[in-house]
Amino acid sequence: EHTDYVIQLKAITDVKTGPVPTVSAGQALAMIENKKQVVQTFFKLVNYSPSQMGQVVQPLIGEHGYVSADETTGQLLVIDTVENLMRIERIIAVFDVSDAGKTIQKVFPIRYGDPAEIVQLLRILLGGEAGSGSRSIRAPSRGGMRPSSSSRSSSSSSSRSGTSGTATSVVIGPSQMPVILIPEQNRRWIIARASPEDMKLIEEWITRLDREEPIKKDYETIPITYADVSEVASRLNEALQNMPGQELKASVLVQPLVKARQIMVFGREDRREMVKKLIQEIDIPPG
């Protein structure tokens, strides 16, 4: 703390018990020069329960921070550094929306993979680039898959969040409800908000993607030249369903990328080669 003529030193362990500067509702956190300064601020929530929001942000609070929810006033009190409060402010803005009552939230710890890479792959799996024609996502196979470093180069409509590098990804899931995925790189988490139906798929995919094994490419994209991308995906899925053997059906996932005019194929290399041969038979010039 300091005034014009006096500087007072305070132990950081006393932050929660001693006086802390308050940032008023009309003051932008980004305008505070010292981003390491510990302050307190009140977040007003309109659509989301302060208590539930407190559970979401509690794991993000620093060691000497503090969070308190007031359902009566609809406010969330948070004490932390300005830098961390800015990150929390962005997360609250994403969660406090009109359809919040129809969704659930969950924090997924990531042990082995990269949270940002897993989020990018989840975007594709949940229909982020599949267009409106098909959202034929299904539960992952027992064999599991994991993202490779090549997923960094895949296109993304994520919005970068300032200096923290947190990317908030919003897609429409198979249930036609918005799915929000927030990778927290520092703590190695993925924060998700989705319908219960979509959350079940997200949990299953994260379990399969976050595996302790050498990174290998278990998927690839195949360009479509002549045929309709959604039609190709539909015919591929139909062909796979008609092939004998339950193991084959469970080990291959075909996802159409309509805007990019590509088919994304997940599975072992020999399974992908089989799908590519099927595509060659389907993707032919008209007439």
Do 23 and 71 fall within a single domain? yes
Degrees, nearest 5: CA angle 270-274-275: 120
Q: Which of 82, 4, 7 is closest to 37 using CA atoms?
A: 82
Last residue of a domain, one of 101, 134, 152: 101
pLDDT at 41: 93
Q: What single-letter DSSP state applies at residue 206?
A: H
Q: What is the dihedral of CA 163, 166, 167, 169, to 10 degrees?
A: -140
pLDDT at 279: 94
Q: Decide if 96 contacts 58 (C-beta within 8 A).
A: no
Q: For residue 125, what are the domain limits?
A: 104-209
pLDDT at 131: 40
pLDDT-derived band at 102 (thresholds 50, 70, 90) equals confident
Do 125 and 173 fall within a single domain? yes
CATH code: domain of residue 67 = 3.30.1370.120
pLDDT at 18: 63
Query: Which residue shows structure tokens 């005019």?
Result: 261
Average pLDDT, the chain: 77
Do 108 and 203 fall within a single domain? yes
The answer to the question of residue 266 being in a domain is yes
pLDDT at 15: 53
The total domain count for the chain is 3
Query: Which residue shows structure tokens 């990778």?
Result: 183
Q: What share of the chain is helix, strand, coil (3-state, %, to 5)?
A: 35, 25, 40
pLDDT at 245: 64
pLDDT-derived band at 203 (thresholds 50, 70, 90) equals very high
Query: In the chain, pLDDT over 90 holds for what percent of residues?
Result: 27
**Rounded mean pLDDT, 106-134:** 75
Q: Does 145 or 231 have the greater pLDDT score?
A: 231
pLDDT-derived band at 246 (thresholds 50, 70, 90) equals low
Last residue of a domain, one of 209, 227, 245: 209
Last residue of a domain, one of 147, 175, 209: 209
Do 53 and 141 fall within a single domain? no
pLDDT at 213: 63
Do 114 and 87 fall within a single domain? no
Do 19 and 52 fall within a single domain? yes
The answer to the question of residue 95 being in a domain is yes
Cα(81)–Cα(86) distance, rounded to whole angstroms?
9
Q: Which of 100-104, 114-118, 251-255 has the highest mean pLDDT?
A: 114-118
Q: Decide if 119 contacts 156 (C-beta within 8 A).
A: no
**pLDDT tens, position by position, 126-185:** 764 444 333 334 444 444 444 443 343 333 334 333 334 455 666 777 777 888 898 888
CA of 249: how far to CAs of 112, 122, 225, in Å?
27, 20, 26
Residue 284 has pLDDT above 70, yes or no: yes
**pLDDT tens, position by position, 42-82:** 999 998 889 989 988 888 888 879 999 999 999 999 999 99
